[in-house]
Amino acid sequence: MTIPDLQSQTDPRNIVIDKVGVKGLRYPIVVEDRSSGTQHTVADLNIYVELPHHMRGTHMSRFIEILHHYHTEALIGNLPDFLAELKASLKAEAAYIDISFPYFVNKKAPVSGIESLLSYDCVLTASLCDDYDLLIGVIVPVTTLCPCSKEISLAGAHNQRSLITIKVSYTGFVRLEELIEIAESAASCEIYSLLKRVDEKYVTEHAYENPKFVEDIVREIALKLQDDPRIKSYYVESENAESIHLHNAYAKISRPQK
């Protein structure tokens, strides 16, 4: 019995499809961890290839089949091989993968020293066309305190939970922890999972002594990234969930590859 292969039919419309593939695939991965060597986590994957103009469709099952070849290996460290295998198997000119996952860092409270895990959302985007390209990023929750509110108020100042996003391409090697630390250093104060009263006193007062606009945050981060010879390009944004407004404050700086 012959089973028809409709995806391999010739398509007469003569239009290349930029990306075709699978989205929202949840899969276990292993990432590098500065403190313990490796960390096991679960990622959401989007995997695509470019579809030539003459092909009606791609073979979706091959994305999963090829991914499973790397099930027992560190997928991230083998992304160039993975994308090359996709290109060859699907006869594509380009292959892409987006990886998003939670990454956990053990943090000590600033005064009591009590330890707890804090989750950071991280992303990796890789592509293989003529050359291999990799972009890594972190989304870091922080506390910010409004400089204007502090300046004009007789007592106190309003603050907010903020999200800082940093994405970079690089030469050499850049750790996720490095990007997290850069983001946290630009905020009014870090966020912790577990605080005792002495810690809460510290973070409240520390934030008060370090007021930051969203503009301050992205500029301070941009300065650190552009001074790092490993960084080829970067994207930085800060979004504050305002506590006294029904809108958010936002700022972004991006710089193309050097």
With a cut of 90, say whether residue 108 has pLDDT above it: yes
**Domains, the chain, with CATH or none:** 12-108 (3.10.270.10), 139-258 (3.10.270.10)
Residues 6+ apart with CB under 8 A from 183: 138, 140, 142, 164, 166, 221
The tokens of 93 are what?
């000119």
What whole-number percentage of the chain has pLDDT above 70? 96
Taking every pair of Cα atoms in the chain, the longest distance, rounded to a whole number of angstroms, is 84
DSSP secondary structure letter of residue 78: G
pTM of the model: 0.91
Q: Where are the alpha helices (DSSP H) in the chain?
A: 60-68, 79-90, 147-152, 176-185, 197-208, 214-226
- Would you state the pLDDT for residue 8? 65
pLDDT digits (tens, 9 = 90+) for 209-240: 999 999 999 999 999 999 999 999 999 999 99
Length of the chain: 258
- Would you state the pLDDT for residue 125? 97
